[in-house]
Structure 1
């Protein structure tokens, strides 16, 4: 059996912090989506006591939709950014 394939084991030598930084450089909208999701959840928890006469289930549904919308928006922008880098910003050979 041939072992001629060049397998890089550098990803196994990374710690969690450097792996997160590397992934954030490759796809910058992923941490933005995660941060936005966390911010919306924190805001929803903060506003939980002062929601007025709105039912708890309605408040939670609104916060879930807002958080999911932010993540989907960040994913869409990230895909558009990666398509721009790959197809339009690539120098012509």
Structure 2
């Protein structure tokens, strides 16, 4: 009987999950040290920072893939 392959490979998502845990940990720490800032303002700033992190990660990943596929590609045919 043939071995079936999983539909999704979750090895690449582990970095994103670690980043999420880091941002959540930082948010919990910073929430305690926010001073007189209201909760809604703090959460809005945290949301903007998290969205910036996601956009940066996507941009870096896309740039890496483009460089790897197009600039560092060997022209040798096997």
When the two structures are superposed, what TM-score results if normalisation uses the length of structure 2?
0.76
Give the count of matched residue pairs: 74
Spell out structure 1 runs of 4+ moving beyond 4 A: none
Aligned to 1:42: 25
Of 41, 46, 65, 1:63 maps to 46
Could you list the runs of 5+ residues in structure 2 that have no partner in the other structure? none
Structure with greater contact order relative to length (CA < 8 Å, sep ≥ 6):
1
Q: 1:68 to 1:38 in 2, by over 3 A?
A: farther
Structure 1 vs Structure 2 CA RMSD: 2.2
1:52-80 alpha-carbon deviations (Å, 9 max, x no partner): 01111110011111111111101100000
Question: What is the distance in 2 between the residues matched to 1:76 and 1:66?
Answer: 15
Could you list the runs of 5+ residues in structure 1 that have no partner in the other structure? 1-8, 25-29
